[in-house]
Amino acid sequence: MLLIALLSAAAAIAQAPVPRPAGALFIDGKDVLARAAGRPAVLAMVSTQCGHCAAVARVMQAESADFSTVFFAAVTMDEGADPTAWSQKLSLSFPVYKGNREVAMKFLGLTDAHLGTPQMVYLDRAGVIRAQSERLGTPMLQASDYMRSLVGALLKGSYGR
Q: Walk me through the domains of the chain, giving residue ranges and CATH numbers.
A: 18-155 (3.40.30.10)
What tens digit of pLDDT does each residue of 38-58 get? 999 999 999 999 999 999 999
Contact 151, 40 (CB under 8 A): yes
Q: How many Cβ atoms are within 10 Å of 29's Cβ, its own excluded?
A: 5
Q: How far apart are CA 109 and CA 106, in angstroms?
A: 5
Give the model's pLDDT for residue 47.
96
Share of residues in the chain with pLDDT > 70 (%): 89
The 10s digit of each residue's pLDDT in 62-119 is 999 999 999 999 999 998 999 999 999 999 999 999 999 999 999 999 887 788 899 9
Specify the pLDDT at position 12. Answer: 39
